[in-house]
Amino acid sequence: MQYLLLIYSDESMWESLSEDERQAIHLEYGRLTTDLRAQGKLVGGDELRPVATATSVRVRQDDTIVSDGPFAETKEALGGYYLIEADGLDEAIEWAARIPAARGGTIEIRPTVDRSGGAS
């Protein structure tokens, strides 16, 4: 099964970290990504630019409405994602718990819709 791991955290917490602390976290992400790749679980993933760079698009009655900012203003903002293969929710939870942002932030796990035709 494929799961999207959405990484939510309070950006101001990142800003309050020292350079050394940020380096350590980067290394942790690197190790996690390496492990995912080594086990053939990594389908995709990326770090996103800060929420200040977000743009929202809505089409209402043929009008395209473009606005500054994310879908919703929240304390924790979407900062990145992983798209992984996992044998069930417990495995997805284990990977999610290893994401550094899970400490203090939230990882939302969403199963993707399976269109491959195989049993899920």
Nearer to another protein by C-beta: 92 or 99? Answer: 92
Q: Is residue 92 left, alpha or beta, with left meaning phi > 0 and alpha meaning psi from -120 to 50?
A: alpha
Q: Look up residue 50 and give its DSSP letter.
A: P
User: Is 83 a binder of another protein (CB under 8 A)?
Assistant: no
Stretch of 14-22, 48-56, 57-65, 81-89 lying at the interface with another protein (CB under 8 A): 81-89
Stretch of 32-40, 74-82, 87-95, 100-108 lying at the interface with another protein (CB under 8 A): 87-95
Among 55, 90, 116, 117, binds another protein (CB under 8 A): 90
> What are residue 89's phi and psi, to 5 degrees?
-65, -35
| C-alpha triplet 5, 81, 52: angle, nearest 5° | 130
User: Is 43 a binder of another protein (CB under 8 A)?
Assistant: no
Nearer to another protein by C-beta: 13 or 89? Answer: 89
| C-alpha triplet 110, 116, 118: angle, nearest 5° | 100
Residues from 99 through 118 that contact another protein (CB under 8 A): 109, 111
